Amino acid sequence: MLRTTATCTVQLSLDCRWLAERILLLLQGPQSMAPGNETMQHAPGRFIGRRPWIALLLVLFISSGLSACQVPVFRFALERWQADAYRLVILHRSREQKTQQQAVQSLLQLARENPRMQIRETTLSEGSPQLLHQLYESAQVDNGPVVAAFYPGRSGIPAGTTAVVLPVSAAGTQSLLRSPIQSQLIRRLAAGDSVVWLFLASGRPDRDVAARTLLTEQLEQLQRHLKLPAAEELQVQPSVLQKLKVPFELRFSVLDLPESGEQEHCLREILLNSEPDLRGLEEPIVFPVFGRGRVLYALAGAGINAGTIRAATEFLTGPCSCQVKEENPGFDLPLNHDWEQSLGEVLLSSPVPERSRAPVTLPIPPGRDRKGAAAKSR
């Protein structure tokens, strides 16, 4: 059976990233536009780190009116954005250790079964790159094998950034490839949660309780007031919505990530290493996750407020104006799951078209008024 899809294949012609940087510089003031002065300032409350994603979201909001694609970002990501693969390197001190460690063979087998992992082995020598020696030493082992995982090259995170380094062991291998929180995250996204907010406590109960309460209350309000596009706006028959294997619903949830413990060590490391100023913060941090396990960005401390929560939520539930994954903020978690099986044959979105210089003209579907109702043609 062919997949049933809605028509949403307009390709934007603007350079989102360049325009985002210009907007952010303008927001900082005229002096920031001076030649040689393009430093991104650190936002109070740490909204989204030092990268220009706040301006990029603004660009995407503005450009949404130019796109015929009314499928929300979270749903388009679930149906169309393939998760990028992490690169794993197993480091050995000597060749003899390769056959001595059953955990190495277990890791190799499990990683090769996971399309989100690309793995290789290397034996350290005097001629090996200094970085590999430093990574091995950072794991603080005597002579055993060590595995280093690097973020996907197209994640927006600087190339070569290490996501996690740990000794190869049965427990560590399991933590890297599948943990209880990762399993829960997969179940929720595959069951239709629009966004799952991972909440990492700081260990300071007063701040943690206040931040989590605020997050929960805001998400409950947004879930009541935000509206998803109707079948008419999606340009599909109402029966298509009923045939979807993963329900098309507005649903937010919060998932608590333990602040310590071996089971979730790798997931914590991957999240905390994704931005340079997250580690060492004595503040609660939240990570909105959508699609097939894509993290939008981190909110921390005073950055967890009604405005930032709403901005992230409205972006993820708004129309997918920039359908090309690499032009959107975020990075992928290494979740091993058959998303195609979960989605089934009936989809709301169309594939991202091949890049072309020729413009594509498509009819624009009806919009919505402020109450979320479809606009009537006159």
The token duo for 312 is 């992230």
133 found inside a domain: yes
Same domain, 208 and 330: yes
DSSP result, 110-159: HHHT-TTEEEEEEE--TTS-HHHHHHHHHT--SSS-EEEEE--TTSSSPT
As a whole number of angstroms, the distance between CA 63 and CA 366 comes to 16
- Split into its structural domains, the chain has a count of 2
Same domain, 149 and 296: no
- Name the nearest CA neighbour of 211 among 287, 108, 319: 287
- Name the nearest CA neighbour of 245 among 42, 94, 79: 79
Dihedral of CA atoms 179, 182, 188, 190 in degrees, nearest 10, equals: -110
Same domain, 250 and 335: yes
**What was the pLDDT predicted at 267?**
95
**What was the pLDDT predicted at 194?**
98
Buried b (16+ CB within 10 A) or exposed e, 261-300: eeebbbbbbbbbbbbeebeeeebbbbbbbbbbbbbbbbbb
Last-in-domain residue among 146, 177, 208: 177
Same domain, 257 and 323: yes
Model confidence pTM above 0.85: no
CA angle 50, 165, 326 (to 5 degrees): 45
- Name the nearest CA neighbour of 144 among 115, 169, 163: 169
CA angle 293, 354, 365 (to 5 degrees): 80
**What was the pLDDT predicted at 261?**
87
200 found inside a domain: yes
Please classify residue 355 by burial: count the beta carbons closer than 10 Å to its beta carbon, then call 0-12 exposed, 13-18 middle and 19+ buried: exposed
Output Rg (C-alpha) for the chain, integer angstroms: 22
**What was the pLDDT predicted at 210?**
97
Same domain, 317 and 337: yes
Task: Find how far residue 33's CA is from the centre of its chain.
Answer: 30
- Name the nearest CA neighbour of 301 among 59, 44, 127: 44
Same domain, 148 and 249: no
Q: Which residues of the chain have pLDDT under 50?
A: 1-53, 55, 59-67, 99, 356-378
- Name the nearest CA neighbour of 296 among 85, 155, 149, 152: 155
Q: Are 54 and 25 in contact (CB under 8 A)?
A: no
**What was the pLDDT predicted at 310?**
97
Q: Where are the beta strands (DSSP E) in the chain?
A: 86-92, 117-123, 146-150, 162-167, 195-200, 252-257, 285-290, 294-295, 299-300, 331-332
147 found inside a domain: yes
Query: Structural domain of residue 113, as residue ranges?
Result: 86-177
**What was the pLDDT predicted at 106?**
83
**What was the pLDDT predicted at 321?**
73
Same domain, 75 and 214: yes
**What was the pLDDT predicted at 362?**
41
For residue 374, what are the CA distances in angstroms to 117, 183, 222, 368? Answer: 43, 37, 19, 4
As a whole number of angstroms, the distance between CA 267 and CA 252 comes to 21
Same domain, 78 and 65: yes
**What was the pLDDT predicted at 105?**
85
Same domain, 123 and 51: no
Same domain, 160 and 190: no
358 found inside a domain: no
**What was the pLDDT predicted at 107?**
85
